[in-house]
Every structure is written in C-alpha cells, then in structure tokens.
Chains A and B, each alone.
Chain A
Amino acid sequence: MNKLLNYFLVAGLLLFLACNKEARDPCLQPRQTLLRAHAYQHADTGSVLLDTLLPAPMLIPLSGLPNQYYYLATPRSSQFSFTLSGVADSSRWVIRPDTASLLQDTFTIYYDRQLRFLSNACGYTYFFNLKQIIYTRHALDSAAIIHTDVTTDANVEHLDLFY
C-alpha cells in the first residue's frame, strides 16, 4: 500500500511540476483589429451590386508614422483590410484602384476607440465604433459604413466602396 502511495506521490509531483510552468502562453487569437472593405459597382439595371475587381489596388495611410507603409492588396481583388489608428479618433487613407493610374481618393474615417483586454498572452487591443466616413469622389462613387463595430471578428465587413 505504502509503495503504491509513493508512486502516486511521485507521479503527482512530476505532473504538478510539469504543469506549473512560468513561461507566457502563446497568443492564439488575433490581436489586430482590421477594418474590412468591399468594392462594388452598381449593375446597369436594377439594384444589384456587383463586385468590382480593382486592377492593382494600393492603400496609403496618411498621418501615420514618418516611414509610411503602403498596403498593396492582392491584384484584381474586391476585398481588402486595413488598420485604424489607436492614437487618434480618425484615420485617413488614400486609395488608388490601380497603381498604374494616378486616379485616387482620400477617405477619412471617424470613430470611437474602446480599450479591450484580450488575455494575458495577447495583452490589450482597441476595438472601434465607426461614426462617419468622408471621402473624395475622383474614382470613387460613394462609400458607406455597413457595420459600425470593428473587432477581432474576421467575418464581418465594415465598409462598402462603390465605383
């Protein structure tokens, strides 16, 4: 009996030491909140919306860090995503449907920021509540916010762009 109890003791001790790790868990969920946009065009007849495949879309963040990042979405794509600033209540982007063309629009998105705790492994992030979009109309016909809550949910589209 004592021998059996000793085995249990050693097994329990090893199990405990194995489980009692101090290292940080890996972050297994998305940390970044992305605003997802979808480009459409109106059909010639009726109210049907058709995907617009932008030939070579390019997104340029304005008022960001000095070394500006250029987002080059996949060629001939109608869906793309980009980030909102966590240090201001608005973000301004330039969108060019085709890098071969100089035709481009600027849009500014206004929003509220909500600090959100994800986990000890992932830390904090911002969720956003979209308020308004203002845009130029060079290549763009119109833009509309269709979902105001921007979270880590990757299945939600927030912005429709009409060409």
Chain B
Amino acid sequence: MPFPSLPLKALLAAAFLALATTPVCAQQDSVAQVLEQEEGHQLRLGFDILRPIINLAQNTRQSYEATLDYYWRKELYFVAEGGLGSSRYEYPDLSYTGNNTFLRLGIDKSILSRLGPGDWDGAFFGLRYGMAFMHRDEAHYTIVDSVWGNSSGTVPSKTFNAQWAELTGGVRVELWKGICAGWNVRARFLLNGRSFRDLSPDFIAGYGRGDKSTVFDFNLYLLYSIRWGSHPIALAKTQL
C-alpha cells in the first residue's frame, strides 16, 4: 500500500513542532539552568564505517556517508549528512548504471540528560529531509518473445532528483578524548516516488532501494568532536 503523502507530511510537521518545542522536564530545570551557561559548543564529524564493509560484500552497489552535527542548545543538534554512491543493475533483460550524491538536513534531540558539561554521550531521535541528485546512464532492455522474436532497445539517460523524509534514532558514545562512536536506525519515506515511474533506480545512495516508497537503514559511525566554550564557564561556576 502506497504511503499517503499528505498525512505523512502533516505527521512529520507535527512531529517536528513537537520536537522543537519539547520542554526540558521539570526535574531537570535546575541542571538545565546550570548547563545553559556551561553547555558550550560541539562540532562533530563522522564517517559511516559500515559502508566500506558493505561495499566490499556487494559487487553492484557502492556508497559512502559522512555526518556533521553541531550542538545548538537544550539538547538540540543541527545535523547535515552527505555522501555519494553508484550502482550497477545488470541482468539479461535490463541493465543500467547510475550514480548520485545526496544531502540530508535535520535535527537531533537528545533523550538522555547530560550529567555535566563534559558529558556528550547520549541517545537521541531526530528528523531529516533528504535529497539526492541522480544520473542514470542509458538503460538497455530486452523483451523476450518466443513467438515473434525478442526486441531490444535503449532508454535515454536521465538526470533527476529524489526527496524523502526520515525519522531516525541512535546513540553516540565518546570512546577517548573527542573520538566517538555511534549508530543510527532510520525509516525513510520517499516524497516524489511518482517521478520514478518510467524507470525507478534500483539504488539511491543515502536513501536505499529506489523502487520502494518506505525503506529502513542503519549506520555505524566513527566520529571526531571539536569542542569549545564549555570548559572556562564550567571552571568559573566551580570557583563561584
């Protein structure tokens, strides 16, 4: 059953509003007030270390992903994720190759309160808006007919884009002095599936199966954090 587009958009809009306006729990108010002065800044860059392993295991699909997040305030992160990939669909009756880059923008909201200004571990959930810019090379097809004879032809190459909404959740843990690890699970909902009717791409890096309107994905990240601003204020608080 195709995912209804308008209710989905409404649901995502409602979820986004709820996420952006979620108040910090009353019991955390005192901690939050302190942290508001001390939480500082963090920029975290990571790479999906699972993709190269999957690339080795697969002959026809390749993709690479990176993530960048910035801690804003009140357990809210701005996130930008990007990458690239390619695929090769090769069967006797249909063959084509394609490649794409992608960008996902969104926010993450931590669901575990921090124990202190130096604590950047946590679990979160978030929303993304994703877009992929794709190019499919000329496709070759053969229609098998044992009565009249096979017919073959080509479908011209095409450039198009994919757009999707995404719900995600995951964990980030600091392993050692700014080096972190973490994972994300993702549910993606294609918003412009109709544009793929003439030949849906088998694989869209950053999204997944191009002929599915809903896909699930998993990322395993290794990240590096750059932090500033929190330490001096924390010291000042301690001295006070």
The A-B contact count (CB < 8 A) is 80
Question: Is B54 in contact with chain A by the CB < 8 A criterion?
Answer: yes
Question: Is A119 in contact with chain B by the CB < 8 A criterion?
Answer: yes
Question: Is B197 in contact with chain A by the CB < 8 A criterion?
Answer: yes
A65: contacting residue among B142, B149, B153, B220, CB under 8 A:
B149
Q: Given the complex of chains A and B, what is the CA–CA distance between A8 and B183 in angstroms?
A: 10
In the complex, are the beta carbons of B148 and A87 less than 8 A apart?
Answer: yes
Smallest Cβ distance from B121 to chain A, in angstroms? 10
Number of interface residues of A (CB under 8 A): 30
B148: contacting residue among A8, A20, A22, A91, CB under 8 A:
A91
Known: A9-B171, A20-B54, A69-B146. A86 touches B151 (CB 8 A): yes
Find residues 65-99 in chain A having any chain B CB closer than 8 Å to their own CB.
65, 69, 83-88, 91
Known: A20-B54, A22-B61. A12 touches B147 (CB 8 A): no
Q: Given the complex of chains A and B, what is the CA–CA distance between A75 and B59 in angstroms?
A: 50
Q: Report A's interface with B, CB cutoff 8 A.
A: 5, 8-9, 12-13, 15-16, 19-20, 22, 24, 61, 64-65, 69, 83-88, 91, 115, 117, 119-120, 123-126
Q: Report B's interface with A, CB cutoff 8 A.
A: 50, 54, 58-61, 89, 91, 93-94, 123, 141-143, 145-149, 151, 153, 155, 171, 183, 185, 197-200, 202, 211, 216-218, 220
